[in-house]
Amino acid sequence: MRTADGDDVKDISLQDIFAYISKLKKAQDALKRSELRFRRLVEVSSQVIWLANAKGDIIEDSASWRNFTGRTFDQLAGWNWLASIHPDDRQHLEMAWRDCIRKATTCHVEFREMNADSQYRNIVGTAVPILDENGSILEWIGMNQDVTERKQAEEKVKKSLKEKELLLKEIHHRVKNNLQLISSLLHLQSLQTDIQSSEALKESRNRIRSIALVYEILYGAEDLSKISANEYLRKLVKSILDTSKGNISAKFDIDETSFEINKAITCGIIVNELVTNAIKHAFPAGEGNISVTLHTVGDKQELAIRDDGIGMPPNFRLGESKSLGLKLVKSLTEQLEGELEYTNGIGTELKISFK
């Protein structure tokens, strides 16, 4: 067969035409089944599912959204959905939606929307653009999830945590006050005793003060499980020097690290004992310098107290010392599962290493 122009055309049989029509009908039936599955999936879904045109006008929706809004599909088709959004969220949502349309990107936003009972519910909405081969938006498919119960549960947890934090702060405050009361009673007792007993009571007051300072810092801290080592040790040493006689200064070189409560109390008593001993024995003339360092070395922390005083006697042995303060230091170092080192030369250095 030839056309009017003389070109050859292959013969097409009726069988070929019927086969082509049959394939076309099968493709159309498959498309209808696919659309039907989508519609049924949308209808039975507990989530709000919707389909919109490129401008955002609703063309398909799930029964769950009609139930949520209390509107029929016809009402939804011409509905200004922004009117149901909480006034505080409306501008943010509208800007996010316009930005997604402009960029043809997925939109994910949280907002509050009024339901059929005139109650605002917390919604997480997601809209995904369907693009043509040129990257232009054909339609939008989206899902809105009601997360009100989850948000309410989160708020309850936050409120509960806040209440517990306030309770812990109050406990820390009361512990600090009670320790300060004990310290005051010891001070009053020291005024009615001999010099030796008065000195012993003063040392006990300093130990109590080192513990009370932990709770004083925790009372004003955001994290109630640990405190800043730098802040704590500086305040502790300064408070000891403020109540001592003479002209003794302190220098600090402390890493930015934290102590948990029990470790802070233990280290605080150790520093109190070592600084107090240095003040009492290292500076006969009442003048000198004390340095406090805390560094992290590997998996350990090294806490050292140094002075530039007269040093220990040549025959001094740390393990043989009968001083209550040094006995406390050794015992507390063992509680930390640490090691205590002693260096005597120009002044004295005591260093504790612990994990």
CA distance 263 to 132: 64
**Per-residue pLDDT at 2:** 45
Residue 37's pLDDT band, with cuts at 50, 70 and 90, is: low
Q: Give pLDDT tens digits for 73-100.
A: 777 666 677 788 899 999 998 898 888 8
**Using one digit for the tens of pLDDT, what is the confidence trace for 119-156?**
999 989 889 898 988 888 988 888 888 888 988 888 88
CATH of domain 46-146: 3.30.450.20
What is the average pLDDT across 343-349?
A: 82
pLDDT band at 287 (very low <50, low <70, confident <90, very high): confident
**Neighbouring C-beta atoms of residue 332, cutoff 10 Å:** 20
Specify whether the CB–CB gap between 204 and 190 falls below 8 A: no
> What per-residue confidence (pLDDT) applies to 319?
66
Tokens of 38: 């989508």
Decide if pLDDT at 295 tops 90.
Answer: yes
Ranges 40-49, 52-61, 172-181, 214-223: which has the least confidence = 40-49
Does the reported pTM lie above 0.95?
Answer: no
pLDDT at 294: 92
Q: Identify the band that residue 252 occupies on the pLDDT scale cut at 50, 70 and 90.
A: very high
pLDDT of residue 34: 64
Using pLDDT thresholds of 50, 70 and 90, give the confidence band for residue 29.
low
| Inter-CA distances, 28 with 20, 25, 265, Å | 12, 5, 79
Tokens 């959204």, located at residue: 65
- With a pLDDT cut of 90, the percent of the chain lying above it is 8
Confidence of residue 3 (pLDDT cuts 50, 70, 90): very low
Tens of pLDDT, residues 296-313: 988 889 999 998 888 877
Q: How far apart are CA 149 and CA 241, in angstroms?
A: 56
Does the pLDDT of residue 259 top 70, yes or no? Answer: yes
Enumerate long-range contacts of 54-62, CB under 8 Å, 24 or more apart.
Answer: 54/101, 54/136, 54/137, 54/138, 54/139, 54/140, 55/101, 56/97, 56/101, 56/140, 59/139
Q: Which residue ranges make up each domain of the chain?
A: 1-44, 46-146, 149-224, 228-355
| Rounded average pLDDT over 238-252 | 86
Over range 156-176, report the average pLDDT: 74
Given this chain, do its domains 46-146 and 228-355 carry the same CATH topology? no
pLDDT at position 333 over 60: yes
**CATH of region 228-355:** 3.30.565.10
Q: Which of 5-19, 152-166, 273-287 has the least mean pLDDT? A: 5-19
Phi then psi dihedrals of residue 94, to 5 deg? -65, -40
Give yes or no for residue 8 having a pLDDT over 80: no
Mean pLDDT of the chain: 80
